[in-house]
Amino acid sequence: MTTATAPAPATDTAPAPTGGAAGPPAALTNGQRLERIAVALIDRLAAAAVDKVDELADKLQDFAQNPGGIGMTAAMRAGLAAMQGKNPVWAAIKGAVSAMSTTTKVLIGLLLILLAVLSPVALLVLALVLIVAAIVGAVRG
């Protein structure tokens, strides 16, 4: 003789349906609400982080294509030279000159030539002024 065993009573361990075509949405527990809030918050934070990384990548790409003006080029070259153990001042000067236009380079060259020509004259005038001041001071004193 065979005896039939009664099925075990069903426990409520399966997740409750959350709506859709199966039926109306069931009430959410506090844990499920908290989980949904946490997931939404993490999604928003991740989206914000991705936006910031994209902005930074765009700025870096713009900088790589156009490194900036003379000062920025000089600073970058000086920093690179310092990391390589070379003279950062000389590297900054070279970087600044390399970032200048040809017209600016010519004008600076002419200015340096003019300075070299006129500096002995300026020193001579300064010496004469000091000699005259010393003579006037000696006569008055």
Identify whether the C-beta of residue 117 lies closer than 8 Å to the C-beta of residue 107. no
CA dist 27 and 107 (Å) reads 80
Which structure tokens are listed for 3? 């005896």
What tens digit of pLDDT does each residue of 17-72 get? Answer: 554 555 556 788 888 999 999 999 999 999 999 999 999 888 878 776 766 788 88
CA dist 110 and 93 (Å) reads 17
CA dist 31 and 139 (Å) reads 102
Residue type, 124: L
Identify whether the C-beta of residue 17 lies closer than 8 Å to the C-beta of residue 32. no
Closest by CA position to 67, among listed 99, 94, 26: 99
What tens digit of pLDDT does each residue of 72-123 get? Answer: 888 888 999 999 999 999 999 998 998 889 999 999 999 999 999 989 998 9
Phi, psi at 45, each rounded to 5° = -65, -40
